[in-house]
Structure 1
């Protein structure tokens, strides 16, 4: 089973406009409202794969109730921790092939809520083999909060996938309890190491060999259209992907995380894990809806992904 953690979830509202005009009325041709946040995108893709998955995190207010109703309607299991603040909305305006986003900050978490979620999390994690923690921390949570979650999960020997950036990731890397997988992109890798990260094999091998990554079994670096570069223990891999027609790239990283989680759950080989993860990322990019995959082309794309040990 997989547990996904979304500390700052949202209702993702998408408005489709023929054009966006400022300082006047715009009428949306289409509107969609879906449970959002990186962890919930992971959840949705895992559910589409048929995996046994549950979502947790912090939820509050009428927006939070609506989010939980939408998950229940989709037959997705969830066990959130209630807070006094209101879960946020995030708005995407789609116009002429462009996407303009308006993201609410979200609620401020109280010290009591932060402490209570740790207890909720520790009680919840025991039956789960894989835990995927994704996205930003809401206001009120310290930058080492993910490190604390990982410390709790590590005591039960859980395989943890962490997909975050900035100070929360740096705090985790300084901690003795490590996630099993991290998934930075090239820009995030540069921020972590303080060095310019180039996409060539030798540069990436040198960066991922730095002491800060010791104790992490998998470091998978997303390279966008160029595929990925990965380190599993002491082995390095280059992943090359075919060219595809992109409809909406948002959520592709989350779909990749879903593929990693599913692969760990089923004990797939390194090559199979890297192929599955990248295929799901590509399938998401081909869809307008964030955190959604159409598995009809899965096998075709799987055969076109090449994984080479370097």
Structure 2
């Protein structure tokens, strides 16, 4: 089984309007509400790929109950910890070819809630094969919290796939315990390196640096063009096919899910990379975030090219 971690989940609300009018009433009929957060996108893709999956993090209030009901309906194991605070809403207003987002900060996690989670996590890691950790931290948790989780997982020889950015990623990279895989996108890598933008040559140079020493897999996704992947001492350029994307949001999460499932099934090297990147392509073809069509895997996987640099 794979365990996914989403510490700051949300109920994602999408309002679709022909036109957004400011300082007046906007009435909307096209509304969708779903369990949101990068880790829950990963969870859904893993479940769609036929792998047993459990989801964990913090949930509270009526919005937390909404998420619990949704994952239960999808036969996803519920490992979430209850909190006093209320799970957040994240609102996207889609209008005139644009998307305006209103993101709540979410609840503040107190010390006792964090302790309960860490104790439960210490038990959960012993009963799963792989762990994915995605997204931001809720307020109240220290910036080294992900580093703590990686350390606990490594004590029990349970590999971690980490997808976060900024200080959270930096703290983890600086720690003694390393994840099996990290997946910054091109913009997040630039931020990590203190650059405004970063080109292919800079990505390759960064992957050869000591910054990523001790991390077996470093996957830098570059949007529609594919990715650069470091595996041990090898660096690969991965080219994905051009598609008419319907909704590319969540494609990076789908890639993480692909790596987790592929690793759990014993895929290695080039075959693993192709399988994982295929999930990002398939997610972009679906209207719903964190969704793939398994029936299309082989056709698109065969179009992915992996070149060792």
**Residue segments in structure 1 that go unaligned for 5+ positions in a row:** none
Q: Which residue of 2 aligns with 1:210?
A: 209
Pairing of 1:51-70 with structure 2 (within 5 A): 51-70=51-70
Structure 1 Cα separation of the partners of residues 102 and 248 of structure 2 = 17
The SS at the match of 1:125 is helix
Structure 1 Cα separation of the partners of residues 208 and 202 of structure 2 = 10
Pairing of 1:267-306 with structure 2 (within 5 A): 267-306=266-305
Q: Which residue of 2 aligns with 1:175?
A: 175
Distance verdict in 2 for CA 1:2–1:193, change over 3 Å: same
Q: Which residue of 2 aligns with 1:94?
A: 94
How far did 1:197 drift? 5.8
Structure 2 Cα separation of the partners of residues 84 and 29 of structure 1 = 33
Structure 2 Cα separation of the partners of residues 129 and 35 of structure 1 = 24
Q: Which residue of 2 aligns with 1:137?
A: 137
Structure 2 Cα separation of the partners of residues 161 and 306 of structure 1 = 23
Q: Which residue of 2 aligns with 1:50?
A: 50
Mean Cα displacement is larger for which, 44-53 or 207-216?
207-216
| CA deviation string 1:251-295 (max 9, x = no partner) | 111111100101111111211121111111111112221111123
| CA deviation string 1:3-47 (max 9, x = no partner) | 000000011111122221112222223211111100000000100
Q: Which residue of 2 aligns with 1:221?
A: 220
Q: Which residue of 2 aligns with 1:126?
A: 126
How far did 1:227 drift? 0.6
TM-score (norm 1): 0.96
How many residue pairs were aligned? Answer: 309
Structure 2 Cα separation of the partners of residues 208 and 118 of structure 1 = 32
8 Å Cα contact 1:199-1:223 kept in structure 2? no
How far did 1:133 drift? 0.2
TM-score (norm 2): 0.97
8 Å Cα contact 2:239-2:304 kept in structure 1? yes
8 Å Cα contact 1:108-1:138 kept in structure 2? yes
8 Å Cα contact 2:52-2:76 kept in structure 1? no
Structure 2 Cα separation of the partners of residues 26 and 295 of structure 1 = 38
How far did 1:297 drift? 2.5
Q: Which residue of 1 aligns with 2:187?
A: 187
How far did 1:96 drift? 2.7
Structure 2 Cα separation of the partners of residues 42 and 4 of structure 1 = 7
Q: Which residue of 1 aligns with 2:242?
A: 243
**Residue segments in structure 2 that go unaligned for 5+ positions in a row:** none
Q: Which residue of 1 aligns with 2:164?
A: 164
Detail structure 1 runs of 4+ shifted over 6 Å in the superposition. Answer: none
Structure 1 Cα separation of the partners of residues 237 and 119 of structure 2 = 40
Q: Does 1:261 align with 2:249?
A: no
8 Å Cα contact 1:197-1:204 kept in structure 2? no
